[in-house]
């Protein structure tokens, strides 16, 4: 388990840049990810880990990649349904091991109609993971009517850790330090909806300053006007201590260059 985690969170820096490209599991061909292999592969040199489903992994990613894989193993619903919380475990632990995953990821929906089901899913997945030394990343999914504040995200993150998650993925918010303080396992932040590059870089910077071990960022990378420049800029903040201004300068210097 520790070895797998150390492949995701660099033990030298204590930080990680995870590339989140699992959106299709309920959103279908998400904007920017219509051809997943073509989008993901050129970004991998700057990703400490890649988070995706087994379908995209098997069919579009070269089996020889060295990036650790965080395998999305929850699902069972789609954006056509009002209640996205009706998730179950969709991939067996055996298949995750066979695919050489470094961790498995599942969403919990605290406060949503299927709160209990998703929390029990997490606990079961942790039990199965313990048998194989497989860490579980819990994603605190936020329903449409939930407020993304430190109280709610702190509650959801802490519950995930209490149920045995090895890592938590949540959203950045005001007083994010409080969320980190109450969660005894490493936290990474999602990027959320696409925002202008300077804002996304500031978001990554603030999260690290306030105690996140890294980012698990998707749309703000693959929907950027230059995804390859953007992942390098995000990486410069997370792994090299750049300020948002320095990272933006890097982004602008790389942007548009022939890859
Ligand atoms: C959503 O449930 C997925 O797990 C995404 O991986 C997550 O939202 C992170 O991606 P983004 O940075 O686009 O928010």
Residue-range definition of the domain harbouring residue 225: 2-254
> What is the 3-state secondary structure of the chain?
CHHHHHHHCECCCCEEEEEECCCHHHHCCCCCCCCHHHHHHHHHHHCCEEEECHHHHHHHCCCCCCCCEEEECEECCCCCCCCCCCCEECCCHHHHHHCCCCEEEEEECCCCCCHHHHHHHHHHHHHHHHHHCCCEEEEECCCCCCCCCHHHHHHHHHHHHHCCCCEEEECCCCCHHHHHHCCCCCEEEECCCCCCHHHHHHHHHHHHHCCCCEEEECHHHHCCCCHHHHHHHHHHHHHHCCCHHHHHHHHHHHCCCCC
Instruction: Give 110-146 pLDDT, tens digit per residue.
Output: 999 999 999 999 999 999 999 999 999 999 999 777 8
Catalytic residue IDs:
169
Residue 12 in any domain: the answer is: yes
| 23 pocket-lining for ligand 1 (C-beta < 6 Å) | yes
pLDDT of residue 258: 73
Answer whether 191 contacts ligand 1 (Cβ < 6 A): yes
Q: How far is the CA of 255 from the centre of ligand 1 (A)?
A: 24
259 domain-assigned: no
What does the mean pLDDT of the chain come to? 97
Per-residue exposure over 168-183, b if at least 16 CB sit within 10 Å of its own CB, e if not: bbbbbbeebebbbeeb
Query: Considering only CA atoms, which of 56, 119, 55 is closest in space to residue 85?
Result: 119
Binding site membership of 154 for ligand 1 (Cβ less than 6 Å): no
CA distances (Å), origin 226, targets 24, 34, 249:
21, 16, 14
Q: Closest residue (by CA) to atom 10 of ligand 1? A: 218
Query: Does 112 fall in a domain?
Result: yes
What spacing in Å lies between the alpha carbon of 220 and ligand 1's midpoint?
10
Contact 165, 139 (CB under 8 A): no
What would the pLDDT profile of 191-249 be if each residue is shown by its tens digit? 999 999 999 999 999 999 999 999 999 999 999 999 999 999 999 999 999 999 999 99
Mean pLDDT of the region 88-99: 98
CATH of the domain at 224: 3.20.20.70
Q: Is the CB of 218 under 6 A from ligand 1?
A: yes
Q: Which residue among 218, 222, 224 has the greatest number of ligand 1 atoms within 8 angstroms of its CB, and so is best to mutate? A: 218
Model confidence at 257, in pLDDT bands (50, 70, 90)? confident
Task: For the beta carbon of residue 147, count every other beta carbon within 10 angstroms.
Answer: 11
Q: Is the CB of 143 inside a 6 Å radius of any atom of ligand 1?
A: no
Task: Summarize pLDDT for 185-199 with one digit per residue, the tens.
Answer: 999 999 999 999 999
Q: Is the pLDDT of residue 250 over 80?
A: yes
CB distance 204 to ligand 1 below 6 Å: no
**Predicted model pTM:** 0.96
Strand-strand pairing, 88-89 and 74-75: antiparallel
The reported pLDDT for the residue numbered 97 is: 98
Residue 92 has what pLDDT? 98
Cα–ligand 1 centroid distance for 190 (angstroms): 6
Q: What is the pLDDT of residue 143?
A: 77
Instruction: Indicate if the pLDDT at residue 72 is higher than 90.
Output: yes
Q: What is the tally of structural domains in the chain?
A: 1
């Amino acid at each position: 388990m520790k070895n797998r985690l150390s492949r995701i969170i660099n033990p030298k820096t204590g930080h990680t840049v995870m590339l989140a490209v699992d959106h299709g599991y309920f959103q279908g061909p998400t904007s920017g990810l219509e051809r997943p292999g073509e989008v993901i592969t050129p970004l991998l040199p700057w990703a400490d880990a890649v988070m995706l489903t087994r379908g995209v992994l098997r069919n579009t990613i070269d089996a020889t990649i060295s990036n650790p894989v965080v395998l999305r193993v929850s699902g069972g619903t789609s954006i056509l349904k009002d209640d996205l919380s009706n998730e179950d475990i969709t991939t067996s632990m055996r298949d995750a091991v066979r695919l050489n995953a470094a961790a498995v990821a599942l969403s919990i929906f605290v406060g949503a109609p299927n709160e209990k089901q998703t929390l029990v899913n997490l606990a079961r997945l942790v039990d199965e993971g313990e048998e194989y030394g497989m860490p579980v990343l819990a994603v605190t999914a936020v329903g449409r009517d939930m407020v993304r504040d430190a109280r709610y995200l702190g509650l959801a993150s802490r519950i995930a850790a209490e149920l045995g998650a090895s890592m938590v993925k949540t959203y950045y918010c005001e007083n994010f330090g409080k969320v980190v303080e109450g969660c005894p396992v490493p936290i990474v932040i999602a990027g959320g909806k696409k925002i202008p590059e300077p804002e996304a870089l500031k978001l990554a910077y603030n999260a690290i300053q306030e105690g996140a071990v890294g980012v698990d960022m998707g749309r703000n990378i693959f929907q950027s006007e230059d995804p390859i420049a953007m992942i390098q800029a995000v990486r410069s903040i997370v792994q090299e201590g750049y300020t948002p201004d320095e990272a933006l300068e890097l982004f602008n210097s790389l942007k548009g260059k022939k890859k």
